[in-house]
């Protein structure tokens, strides 16, 4: 076993050096040995969609074509999560379809709350933002980094903040 671990570590170092030389990035072990297209395909996501190995996918998550799902993302589909085509989901984004507030504060007497969440096509989700259960984000919307989205965002809107509010709308 010690010999196997030594070989694994050597392979890991070699793969990391190659990744750094080619892409100027260092990634987790799973992302060194997996292919992002394959990861997305295994979840049944659309053609051309890529998904880092360290993405947490729970429940019923449907993702369209040519969507990029960055590292350290949480896609909670316990209440049904639908994501369109050509969506960019930046690092650290968390999208929820459930919460346990009522369940926790009632000491388990009330059920876990679920609501479907929908992200349209052509949407950009900035790094480290959180989308609450039941929210719909319209096509071609842009949500700024580190925002907390607790209400629907219309198509072509630009929203940011905590809580996120629409700041601009592209009329095209």
Q: What percent of the chain has pLDDT over 90?
A: 88
Q: What pLDDT is attached to residue 170?
A: 74
Q: What pLDDT is attached to residue 172?
A: 61
**Alpha-carbon torsion, ordered 23, 28, 29, 35, to 10 deg:** -60
Average pLDDT on 109-122 reads 97
The model's pTM is 0.91
Residues labelled catalytic: 98
Under 8 Å between Cβ of 159 and 167: yes
Q: What pLDDT is attached to residue 78?
A: 96
- pLDDT higher than 90, residue 70: yes
Binning pLDDT at 50, 70 and 90, where does residue 96 land? very high
Q: What pLDDT is attached to residue 21?
A: 94
Q: What pLDDT is attached to residue 171?
A: 60
Mean pLDDT of the chain: 95
- pLDDT higher than 90, residue 27: no
List, for residues 147-158, the tens digit of each pLDDT value.
999 999 999 999
Average pLDDT on 1-25 reads 92
List, for residues 33-61, the tens digit of each pLDDT value.
899 999 999 999 999 999 999 999 999 99
């Amino acid at each position: 076993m010690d010999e196997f671990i030594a070989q694994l570590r050597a392979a890991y170092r070699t793969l990391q050096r190659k990744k750094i030389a080619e892409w100027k990035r260092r990634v987790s072990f799973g992302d060194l040995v997996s292919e992002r297209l394959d990861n997305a395909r295994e979840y049944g996501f659309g053609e051309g969609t890529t998904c880092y190995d360290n993405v947490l996918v729970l429940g019923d998550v449907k993702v369209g074509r040519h969507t990029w799902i960055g590292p350290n993302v949480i896609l909670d589909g316990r209440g049904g999560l639908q994501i369109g085509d050509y969506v960019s989901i930046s690092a650290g984004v968390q999208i929820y379809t459930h919460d346990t507030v009522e369940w926790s504060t009632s000491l388990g007497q009330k059920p876990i709350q679920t609501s479907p969440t929908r992200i349209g096509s052509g949407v950009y989700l900035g790094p480290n933002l959180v989308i609450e259960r039941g929210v719909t984000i319209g096509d071609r919307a842009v949500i700024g980094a580190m925002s907390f989205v607790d209400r629907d965002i219309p198509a072509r809107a630009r929203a940011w903040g905590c809580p996120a509010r629409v700041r601009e709308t592209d009329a095209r």
